[in-house]
Amino acid sequence: MLRLLIVTLAVCATICAAAQTRNSPMEAIAHLTGPPQSDNTQVKGNVTFIQNDCGQSVHVRIQLENVMQGKHGFHIHEKGDLSNGCTSLGGHYNPDKVDHGAPHHEVRHVGDLGNIEVNASRIIDITYTDSVISLSGKRTIIGRSVVLHELEDDLGLGNHTDSKKTGNAGGRIACGVIGIKSDVDEWPCRGGGADALRQSMSIVSIVVALIIARGL
Ligand SMILES: [Cu+2]
Ligand SMILES: [Zn+2]
CA–centroid distance, residue 76 to ligand 1 (Å): 7
Expressed in angstroms and rounded, the spacing between residue 119 Cα and the centre of ligand 2 is: 24
Residue 45 has pLDDT above 90, yes or no: yes
Cα separation, 204 vs 200, in Å, equals: 6
Residue 184's nearest CA partner among 134, 129, 135, 127 is 135
146 DSSP β-pair partners: 76, 176
Q: Nearest ligand to the C-alpha of residue 167?
A: 2
Encode 162-184: b = buried (16+ Cβ within 10 Å), e = exposed. Answer: ebbebbbbeebbbbbbbeebeee
Spell out which residues have Cβ within 5 A of ligand 1, the ion: 75, 147
pLDDT tens digits, one per residue of 100-158: 999 999 999 999 999 999 999 999 999 999 999 999 999 999 999 999 999 999 999 99
CB count, 10 Å around CB of 141? 24
The pairing of strands 70-77 and 172-180 is unpaired
CB atoms within 10 A of CB 92: 23
Q: Across the chain, how many H-helices and E-strands are there?
A: 2, 9
Our CA angle for 176, 177, 180, nearest 5°, is 130
Task: Give the 3-state secondary structure of residue 159.
Answer: coil
- Region 181-208 average pLDDT: 66
- Residues with Cβ < 8 Å from 170, sequence gap 6 or more? 73, 149, 150, 151
Whole-model pTM: value is 0.81
Q: Which helix (H) or strand (E) holds 212?
A: helix 193-215
Q: What is the pLDDT of residues 149-189, one digit of tens each?
A: 999 999 999 999 999 999 999 999 999 999 999 988 887 77
State the catalytic residues: 75, 77, 92, 100, 109, 112, 149, 172
The DSSP 8-state label assigned to residue 88 in this structure reads G
Q: How far apart are CA 40 and CA 169, in angstroms?
A: 21
Residue 20 has pLDDT above 60, yes or no: no
d(CA 149, ligand 1 centre) in Å: 6
Does residue 30 register a pLDDT over 60? yes
User: Chain-centre distance of CA 108, in angstroms?
Assistant: 14
Smallest-distance ligand from the CA of 108: 2
Fold of 24-190: Immunoglobulin-like (2.60.40)
19 pLDDT tier (thresholds 50, 70, 90) = very low
Q: Rounded CA gap, 144 and 135, in Å?
A: 11
Q: What is the pLDDT of residue 188?
A: 79
For the CA of 102, the nearest ligand? 2
